[in-house]
Amino acid sequence: MIWQTEYHTMPGHTRLYTRVPQDRLGVLIGEMGKVKRELERRTETRITIDSTTGMIIIEPVSPDVPPIMLLKALDFIKAVAHGFSPERAWRAIEEDQVLVIIDLKQYVGDHPNHLARIKGRIIGERGKIRRALEEMTGTYISVSKNTVTIIGDYESSSIAREAIEMIIQGRQYRTVFLFIDRNMRRLKRERLTKLWK
- % of the chain exceeding 90 in pLDDT: 81
Quote the pLDDT of residue 154.
Answer: 95
Q: Do domains 6-90 and 97-196 have the same CATH topology?
A: yes
Residue 184 binned pLDDT confidence (cut-offs 50, 70, 90): very high
Given a cut of 50, whether residue 14 has pLDDT beyond it is: yes
Mean pLDDT of 150-161: 97
Task: Provide the mean pLDDT of the chain.
Answer: 91
Q: Rounded to whole angstroms, how far apart are CA atoms 75 and 45? A: 13
Please say if the pLDDT value at position 12 is more than 80: no
pLDDT tens per residue across span 131-155 = 999 999 999 999 998 999 999 999 9
DSSP E strands, the chain: 6-10, 13-19, 45-49, 55-60, 97-103, 140-143, 147-153
Hey, is 63 helix, strand or coil? coil
| Domain extents in the chain | 6-90, 97-196
Q: What homologous superfamily is domain 6-90 in, according to CATH?
A: K Homology domain, type 1 (3.30.1370.10)
Entry pTM: 0.88
Quickly name the fold that domain 97-196 has.
Ribosomal Protein S8; Chain: A, domain 1 (3.30.1370)
Average pLDDT over residues 64-77: 94
Give the pLDDT mean for 81-102: 96
**Percent of the chain scored above 70 by pLDDT?**
93
